[in-house]
Amino acid sequence: MNYPEEARGKFFGSLVLSVALRPDGSVDRIIVVRSSGNKVLDESAKRIVMMSSPFAPFPPDIRKETDYLDITRTWNFTRGDALETR
C-alpha cells in the first residue's frame, strides 16, 4: 500500500533510517543512515514515518529517564512491490 507509485515495477532496494522521537510521540528528526541509492525510495520511507506520526507518548516511567528515543530500522522495498522493515 505504501510502496511509492512511481517506483512500482521499476525500483527496489534497502535503506536504513534513524528516527528520533520526542516524549510526546512527535518526530524530531529522520536521518537516512544508509541510502538505497534511489531518492524516490529514501524519500518514500521518510514520508511513511511522517504519515505514521505522531506516535504514542512515552509512558511516565520511560519519560522520567528518556528525553528522546532513537529508532533505527532497515527498510526493504522488494521486487514484488512490497515493503518490509526489520
The confidence score (pLDDT) of residue 77 equals: 81
State the CATH class of domain 5-77.
Answer: alpha beta
- d(C-alpha 48, C-alpha 51), whole Å: 5
Q: Is the pTM of this model over 0.85?
A: no
Domain ranges of the chain: 5-77
Q: Are 56 and 24 spatial neighbours (Cβ–Cβ below 8 Å)?
A: no
> Which DSSP letter does residue 16 get?
E
pLDDT band, very low/low/confident/very high, at 9 (cuts 50, 70, 90): low
The confidence score (pLDDT) of residue 68 equals: 93
pLDDT band, very low/low/confident/very high, at 79 (cuts 50, 70, 90): confident
Question: Can you spell out the DSSP letters for 29-70?
Answer: EEEEEE--S-HHHHHHHHHHHHHH-S-PPPPHHHHTT-S-EE
User: Which pLDDT tens digit goes with each residue over 22-75?
Assistant: 999 999 999 999 999 999 899 989 999 999 999 999 999 999 999 999 999 999
Cis peptide before 57 (omega within 30 of 0): no
